Amino acid sequence: MQQHRRPPPGGSYRAHEALVRPARVQPQLWRLLLGVALVTLVSLTATVGLQMLLVAVAPGAWLAELSQGSSPGAMLVMLGSFGFLALGVALAARLLHRRGLISVIGALPPLVWQFSRVSLYLLGLSLLLLLLPPYDMGAPMEPNLRFGHWLALLPLSLLAVLVQTGSEEIVFRGYIQQALAARFRHPAVWILLPSGLFALGHYLPAEAGDNALLIALWAGVFGVLMADLTARAGTLGPAMAVHFFNNVAALLLFASPSSLNGLALYLLPYELADVQGLRPWMAVDFATMVVSWLAARLAIRR
């Protein structure tokens, strides 16, 4: 006999129930595990299929750059392919949980309103940071794309980053978080487990060296903060906005010279594995992440 869990009583996470309620229709954990496997299969299969299609219709040296995202075309393809994650979630939600993708991301009117409002707050925060006394990273940043080229690509670049960040939020703060919340009442379970998986996906020892664990920890804390925003908002809108602004800065403005820099205006003076050069700025990045989370909470406060 199917057992339904009662929602947690009141509190600051009351809005989360709007997202969790549809997940209680089919809340069995085996469905979640099978769903994650399906999302992974759909994403990998579709990505390989897209790459094979590109090899057939648009052969060229740029295809070798796909794995590193070191050219504009390669980065656009790489970021756009994250949309296959959202497709996988849509199929898993429909086939295994009898729910649609809209129920995973939240009702569209409040989602759009929250995304827009949080984006305005974050834009204001960014402008405020620009007014602070000038600072540098101890070494000059290197120009990457010419400004005119970067500006011409910007509409496509922003759309690609939105697809990438939105799809990640749909998987981690949407599908996985909601499925766990449908089975476990305590927030520690449905906040920490998806955040741990999100951190694991950002653990890149081959690229980041001794900084890999710290970067993964950063991603885990980011996941916790985005889970909190989602539970307070009742849609993925605020988390999508914060994630979007974070990745615009990291991928389109000041990117790592190691990889994922094909659409960036500038390159950082340090590689991800540079302990001495990068770690002080990771502390600054961490503080910016926390302030962005607080700004988003303020934006959705009723």
Q: Do residues 125 and 53 lie in contact, with contact meaning Cβ atoms separated by under 8 Å?
A: no
Helices (H), the chain: 17-20, 29-57, 72-80, 83-97, 101-105, 108-130, 147-169, 177-181, 187-201, 205-208, 212-233, 237-247, 275-300
Is-contact 208 125, C-beta < 8 A? no
The token duo for 95 is 């086939």
Residue appearing with tokens 């909470």: 297
Predicted pLDDT of residue 34: 98
Consecutive 10-residue averages of pLDDT for the chain (302 residues): 43 92 94 98 96 86 78 94 98 96 97 97 91 70 94 98 98 98 95 97 89 94 98 98 97 91 93 82 89 96 78
Q: b or e along 158-187 (b: 16 or more beta carbons within 10 Å of the residue's beta carbon)? A: eebbbbbbbbbbbbbbbbbbbbbbbbeeeb
Question: How far is it, in rounded angstroms, from Cα 21 to Cα 243?
Answer: 25
The rounded radius of gyration (Å) of the Cα atoms in the chain is: 20
Please choose, from the candidates 160, 268, 24, the residue with its C-alpha nearest in 3D space to the C-alpha of residue 16. 24
Task: Look at residue 274 in the predicted model and tell me its pLDDT.
Answer: 85
Tokens of 251: 């991928």
Residue 173: CA count within 13 A, CB half-sphere: 31
Instruction: Tell me the CA distances in angstroms from 130 to 125, 133, 140, 159, 292, one per residue in order.
Output: 9, 8, 17, 24, 15
Domain limits of the chain?
A: 14-300
Residue 64 phi/psi, 5-degree rounding, is -70, -15
Say how far apart CA 144 and CA 147 lie, in whole Å. 9
